[in-house]
Amino acid sequence: MKNIIIDGYNLAHKHAEISAWLKKGDTDKTIHLLINWLIRGPVSKGNKIILVLDGKKGYFKEQTYSSSIKLIFSQKPQTADDIIRNYIRNASNPAELTIVSSDNEIIFTAKDHGAKAIKSEVFLKQYVKKTVLKKNRTSVSNEKYNPENIDVDYWLKQFGDDNS
C-alpha cells in the first residue's frame, strides 16, 4: 500500500473538466468531481490517498471521504502547501510517500526527504493511461492476442527503461 499525498487544487487545475468548475469559483463541485474521479480510478485501489486542499469557511479540518481517501483542509494562516511540506518532514518513512504536486517547493521538499514526487500533469497522464488500459483489458478480453494492443510506454514504466 502506498501513501499518496495530493495537492488538491493543483491537480484540479490540470484536469480540463474539473478545472472548468474551479475557474467558475465552485469549489464544492470541484472537490466533489476530484474525489469521484480519484475513487473511480486505479490509483485508489490498495492505496491511501490524502487530498490536501486550502480550506474554506464551513469545512472541517479533516474528513474521511472513503476507505481510501482522506481530505485535509488547511486553516488560516496555514496553507495546503504548508500541510503537505509538514507531512513530508514529519513522516517516519518518507520513502513510502508519493507526493503529487507541480509546486516546486513541495517537490524539492519531497526529494530532499526521500519521498517520490510526481508533477500533477504527469500523474494525470499516468492515471488516465491506467484507467484506459483497465477499460481496454475488460473490453477486449475475448479478442485474439494482438501485439499492437500493448502500450509499450506503460510496460517500460512497469519494468524500467534504461534511458530514464
Average pLDDT, the chain: 78
Contacts 24+ apart (CB under 8 A), 8-14: 8/34, 8/51, 8/52, 8/53, 8/71, 8/80, 9/53, 9/54, 9/80, 10/100, 10/101, 10/102, 10/103, 10/120, 11/100, 11/101, 11/120, 11/123, 11/124, 13/120, 14/102, 14/120, 14/121, 14/124
Residue ranges covered by each domain of the chain:
3-119, 123-159
pLDDT in tens, 85-95: 999 999 999 99
Check: pTM over 0.75? Answer yes or no. no
**Regions of the chain with pLDDT less than 50:** 132-150, 164
In terms of CATH architecture, what is 3-119? 3-Layer(aba) Sandwich (3.40)
